[in-house]
Chain A
Amino acid sequence: MREITFTAAAREGLAEEMERDPTIFVVGEGIGARGGNFGTTLGLYEKYGGMRLNDTPIAERGFVGMCCGAAMTGSRPIVDFMFADFILDAMGELLNQIAKIQYMSSGRLKMPIVLRGCIGIGNSAATHHSGSYYSIYTHIPGFRVVVPSTPYDAKGLFKTAIRSDDPVMFLEHKSLLNLKGEVPEQEYYLPFGKANVVRHGEMVTVVALGLMVHKTLEAAALLEQEGISVQVIDPRTVAPLDMDTVLESIHKTGRLLIVDESFAPCGIGAEVTAQVVSRGFDDLDAPIARLNGAHTPTPYSPTLEAAVVPNTETIAQAIRDLLKE
C-alpha cells in the first residue's frame, strides 16, 4: 500500500469532501494561496478559489463567530487554527454558542463545524504553541474531540468530522504531521468512539493519545525483550470515549497506565481512571497509574522542554513500576 504523510492524508480527506459537497469551506490564517502554515490546504486554493479557502486576519473570535452563523444557516465551515492554542481566543463563541445551539434550538439548528489545529509539545514551540487542551473541550457537552495518531486515522476521522452535524475539535499533534503511514487509495470513514488496539499484550494495558501512542509502542518493543507483554490502546477520540475496549483489556491484564503528554489534573487520565474504578474495579490488580506532561507552562529551552514530556524510557519505567505494584 502507498505511504503518505499525516498532513497529506488529512488533506486528501478534505479534498474528497470538498469535491463532494460545495457547502464546505475553510477559514483561517494563511490557508489560501499559501496552502496553510503546515500545508493543511496545499493545492486546494488553485482548485476552489478564495471563496472556499478564505484567508482571515488574526481575529479568532470574529471568524469563529461568523463560522458559527454559517453553520447555523446550512453550510459546513472548517476553521483551521494552525495552532490549537488560539482556539482559546474564541472560547465564548465555542462554549456558549457552538456547543449549545443545537440544544437551544431543540435540534432545529445543526452545528456542522470542524475546528482543527496543531497540539503538543515539540520543536521549542514554547508555551503559546504547545498546548493540547483536549480535556477542556471533552468537559463541555456538545463537542466531539478527535486526537488521531496515524495518517490512516487522520484521513478516516477527518472525513467523519466533516460529515458530522455536531461541532468537532480535530487536534493534530505537530510532531506527527510528517509521519508517513499506509493509507488506502479508496475512500473510507472511521467511526468516532471506537478505540484502536494498536498492540496486543497480556500483562498491562496502556492507554495513550496522539504522539504518546508512538512513544508507548517504542517502550513496549523495548519491554518485550524483558519479557513484559504490553497492550496499547489508542482511543482516537476522547469525546466520545470508548471505555468498553479499555475495560475489556483490563479484564485481561488487571493493570492500567495512562500516558498523556497533557496535564494530569482533571485530564483524560483522570476520566479514564474514574470510569475504570467505577465499572472495572474487580478487574484491577494494582492501583491505576498515570504518566503525564509536567503541570507547568511549556518551557522554550530544548533541554527543559524534553524534561516536561514523557518519553520512551520514562514510559517503559512507569510500566515496570506498575508491574511491581
Chain B
Amino acid sequence: MATEILLPRLGWTMQEGTFGEWLKRDGETVTVGDLLYTVESDKALNEVETLEDGILYIPPDAPKTGDVIPVGARLGYLLAPGESAPSGHADIAPKREPLSPQTAVLAPSEPIDATLPRVAPSQPIPAPIAKSIGKTIAPIPAISPRAQRIANELGVDWAHLRGSGSSGRIVERDVRAAFEAQTALSKTAAQTNAVEAESGLHNALPQVRRVIAARLSESAHTTAPVTLTTEVDATELVTLREQLRADTAAQDPFPTYTDLLAKLCAHALLEHPILNARFEGGTIVMGTSVHIGIATDTERGLLVPVVRDVHTKSVRQLASETRPLIERARAGKATGQELGGGTFTITNLGMFEIDAFTPIINLPECAILGVGRIVSKLIVIDGAREIAVRQMMYLSLTFDHRLVDGAPAARFLQRVKELITRPYLWLVGRE
C-alpha cells in the first residue's frame, strides 16, 4: 500500500509552503529519519524527514522548486518493494483539514512569488507574471447562507471580508458593516445635508470620520510601511505644464501636476507591477491596469476618487476627467464605484508648502506616493561646474514591506524621478 507524502503543518499558522527541493532521488530507498525534501515556510527553510520506510516515488506532476503548495498537499509516495505507482496520483489537491476550513478550500493554481524578478524598463512583462496577473490563490472564506443572501441583496462583495464568526465565518453583521462603510463614502451631499438637518452636525460628520479612522488604523496596524524620500528636479515638468497651459488651441482644461504625475506613475507602475499589486487575504493579486486614487481633501474628510485605466489615457483626457471627478468627491456626489478599486494612490500636499511626509497606505493597495511643493532652489549641476536655479520637489513613497522589499521600491521611485526629470520619455510612449 503506497504511503502518501503530504506537506505537514510546520507551524501553528502555516497554511502553505514554498517547495524547495527533493533530498532523495526518485526510486531511492529511504528509511525512517532520512531527510526527504525541503520546504520554505514563514521565511524558514525546513528539511522534512520521512516517517516511514519505502521507495520514493515522485510523480511527474509533483511540485517543483518555488511552487507554493497548501498544507496537506500530496508531494509524492513511498512504495513497498515491487509495488507500482498508484494511479490517479495526478492532483496535488489539498487534503481537507476539518479544523481549518480556510486551508481546505485552497485551489491549486500557478504560484505567485512575492519577490518577483525586477522587470527591466521598456520590456514586455515576462510570461510567468503575465500569466499570473488577475489570478489569485486567495482562500474563499466561509459565509453563512444568510450573510450571502444579504450580501447579494445589498451588492456587497464579500470575497475579501474578514468574518467575525467563531470559525472566521462571514456572518450578517460583517456584511452589514461592509455595506455601511461602502454607503458612508458614496452618500450624496444632499443625503448628508438631510442627515445633518435631522440629527445635527455632530451625528452627520463622524460617520465618514469613523470610516476613515477604521481604514487608516487598519492600514497602520496591518501593513509594514516604509517611506522613502528623494528630491527631484521638476524643472522640465514645470516647463511642460507651462507649455500645455499656453496651448490656446486646446479646449480642455490644462493638466494639473497631479495629472502629470498620475500619468508618469502609471508608466512606471507598468514597469514595476509589484508596486501596482493588491494584498488580499494573504495573497498578492496583480492587475494589468493602473487605477490611480487621488487623495482629496473635502469638507467631510479625506476621500480618494479613483481615475481608471490611467495607462491608456492621454494627459488631456486625464485632465478633463480628474477635475469633475474631484469636484464630485468634494460635493459628496461621487459614487462608491468612483471611490474604490484603485491600485495606487497619489497624495499632494504641495499647496500647503509641505516638502516631505509619510503617507499612510490606502489598503489594499501596495504603495502611495506623497508629493511635496515645487520650490526654486540653487542647485549644483553638470558635474559641479555650474550652479543654477532649478524647480525642486520632494517625493515620499510609502510602500508595504510585506509585498515588496526596499530595493525594488527604491528602483520604482528612481524611475519616477527619472520620468519627472525628463518627462518627454513617457510622452513618446512605452516602446
A and B pair up: yes
Q: Write the residues of chain A forming the contact surface with B, with a CB cutoff of 8 angstroms.
A: 254, 281-286, 324-325
Residues of chain B lying within 8 A (CB to CB) of residue A325: 165-167, 169, 171
Query: In the complex, which residues 264-296 of chain B have their Cβ closer than 8 Å to any Cβ of chain A?
Result: none
**Could you tell me if A286 and B149 are in contact, using CB atoms closer than 8 angstroms?**
no
Question: Cβ of B166: which chain A residues have Cβ within 8 Å of it?
Answer: 324-325
New A-B pairs, 8, CB < 8 Å, besides A285-B171, A285-B172, A324-B165: A254-B146, A282-B145, A283-B145, A285-B144, A285-B146, A285-B147, A286-B144, A325-B166
Tally of contact residues, B, Cβ under 8 A: 12
Give the complex CA separation of A325 and B167 in angstroms.
7
Q: Tell me if B169 and A254 are in contact (CB < 8 A).
A: no
CB distance from B170 to the nearest CB of A (A): 10
A-B pairs with beta carbons under 8 Å apart, 8 shown: A283-B146, A284-B144, A284-B145, A285-B147, A286-B165, A324-B166, A325-B166, A325-B169
For residue A281, which residues in chain B have a CB less than 8 angstroms away from its CB?
145
Q: Write the nearest CB–CB distance from A202 to chain B, whole angstroms.
A: 12
The chain A residue sitting closest to B148, CB to CB, is: A282
A contact residues around B172 at 8 Å (CB): 254, 285
A285 to B144, CA, bound (A): 5
Contacts of A284 in B (CB 8 A): 144-146
- What residues of chain B have their CB less than 8 Å away from a CB belonging to chain A? 144-149, 165-167, 169, 171-172
Q: In whole Å, how far is B363's beta carbon from the nearest beta carbon of chain A?
A: 26
Q: How far is the CA of A147 from the CA of B413 in the complex (A)?
A: 76
Q: How far is the CA of A286 from the CA of B165 in the complex (A)?
A: 8
With a CB–CB cut-off of 8 A, which chain B residues contact A254?
144, 146, 171-172
Smallest Cβ-Cβ distance to B147: which chain A residue: A285
A249 to chain B, nearest CB (A): 13
Q: How far is the CB of B141 from chain A (nearest CB, A)?
A: 15
When distances are taken between beta carbons in the complex, the residues of chain A under 8 Å from B146 are 254, 282-285
Contacts of B165 in A (CB 8 A): 286, 324-325
Once bound together, how far apart are the Cα atoms of A16 and B149, in whole Å? Answer: 51
Could you tell me the distance between the alpha carbons of A244 and B167 in the complex, rounded to whole angstroms? Answer: 30
A241 CA to B154 CA, complexed, in Å:
34
Q: How far does the alpha carbon of A285 sit from the alpha carbon of B166 in the complex, in Å?
A: 12
- List the 7 closest pairs (A to B, CB-CB), nearest first: A285-B146, A282-B149, A285-B144, A285-B172, A254-B146, A282-B145, A285-B171
Q: Which residues of B contact A282 (CB under 8 A)?
A: 145-146, 148-149
Cα–Cα, bound, A175→B284 (Å)? 62
Shortest distance in angstroms between A50's beta carbon and chain B's nearest beta carbon? 60
Tell me which residues across on chain B come within 8 A of A324, comparing CB atoms. 165-166
Task: Determine the distance from Cα of A283 to Cα of B165 in the docked complex, in whole angstroms.
Answer: 16
Alpha-carbon distance A286/B145, docked complex (angstroms):
8
In the complex, how many angstroms separate the beta carbon of B54 from the nearest chain A beta carbon?
41
Give Cα A325 to B164, complex, Å.
8
**Residue among B167, B169, B172 with max Cβ neighbours from chain A (10 Å):** B172
Say how far B9's CB is from chain A's closest CB, in angstroms.
25
In the bound assembly, the distance between CA atoms of A324 and B144 in angstroms comes to 13
